[in-house]
Chains A and B, each alone.
Chain A
């Protein structure tokens, strides 16, 4: 928890410092994408190791889809209320 917050904060401070240096910012964006690929590869490895998980992949896939849909529906309803109350009241 503390490590998470610390790294986010440290990164933000560093980002504020290098904000004017376009080359470093572009490099960071590329590096971020590379780290995400690396991360997903390692996530794949740890899930592939778990043979039981591979067996229930499609069941889990369906549940994942349902969770996403409920999250989106709830958000959309709240966004609709905010839109009507604050953004279209003239």
Chain B
């Protein structure tokens, strides 16, 4: 939660400084985001590879665990398709790119900025922050109405780190392993799916 506020502070101060032209000229001419993205992708890989638990989890828990990330991908996609019937201002492709961020706002927004444009990138940033925030607030409600797995599903890629404590608290400790596995799979899928979408 503290990190979320810090992230938003950085974003808002960047926007504020550039809107009022308070930055050195170089920031307006050069765009560093692509290089920062490359560093980020590498680091995401390192974190995943160094997480021994992910590999042991796959071995320990039975095959059915794989249905959890699959259902999140299919469910989110279905939700976006339904939304597309009402929200026609944004193309289906862009809506899918935003939805396939699965709560991973930093990575998804920067990839979309790189492959699409600033406007969709902003929507991806906000929408995926909302997804994470809703999971924080809504986890107890989700557990009660649509079951324990739905809290994990709602957390998306964040179910392995930021929303893990809240999921463990309301779904129970036996769901921690599923939650970590689910988040890890989606974390890897976010950059791959969004990139494939725009190619």
- Please give the residue numbers on chain A whose beta carbons come within 8 Å of chain B beta carbons, in ascending order: 1, 3-5, 7-19, 25, 28-29, 31-33, 35-51, 53-54, 57, 60-61, 63-84, 86-87
- Supposing A5-B192, A77-B146, A78-B71 touch, asked if A33 and B3 sit within 8 A by C-beta, the answer is yes
Q: Is the CB of A45 within 8 A of B15?
A: yes
Interface string of B75-116 (1 = CB under 8 A from A): 111111011000101100001001100100010011101000
Contacts of A73 in B (CB 8 A): 79
Distance, CA A81 to CA B192, complexed state (A)? 26
- Say yes or no: B18 contacts A49, CB within 8 Å: yes
Interface of B (DSSP majority class): helix
Task: Knowing A49-B18, A72-B131, say if A18 contacts B50 (CB, 8 Å).
Answer: yes
**Complex CA distance for A17 and B46, rounded to whole angstroms:** 9
- The interface of chain B, by Cβ under 8 A from chain A, is 3, 6-8, 10-19, 23, 27-28, 31-33, 36-52, 64, 67-68, 71-72, 74-80, 82-83, 87, 89-90, 95, 98-99, 102, 106, 109-111, 113, 118-119, 121-123, 125-128, 130-131, 134-135, 138, 142, 145-150, 152-154, 156, 188, 191-192, 195-196, 199
Q: Does B50 lie within 8 Å of A19, measured CB to CB?
A: yes
> CA of A59 to CA of B189 in the docked complex: distance in angstroms?
29
Taking CB atoms, residues of chain B closer than 8 Å to A25 are 50
Q: Which residues of B contact A29 (CB under 8 A)?
A: 47
Task: Classify the interface of chain A: helix, strand, loop or mixed.
Answer: helix
> Smallest CB-CB separation from A56: which chain B residue?
B119
Are the C-beta atoms of A45 and B41 separated by less than 8 Å? no
Q: Which residue of B lies closest to A85 (CB)?
A: B67
Asked if A12 and B18 sit within 8 Å, CB to CB, the answer is no
- Give the docked Cα–Cα distance between A77 and B7 (Å): 30
Cα of A71 to Cα of B134 in the assembled complex, Å: 11
Offer 14 A-B interface pairs, CB within 8 angstroms, sorted by A. A7-B41, A14-B45, A15-B47, A15-B51, A18-B46, A42-B32, A42-B33, A47-B14, A67-B83, A67-B127, A68-B127, A68-B131, A71-B131, A72-B153
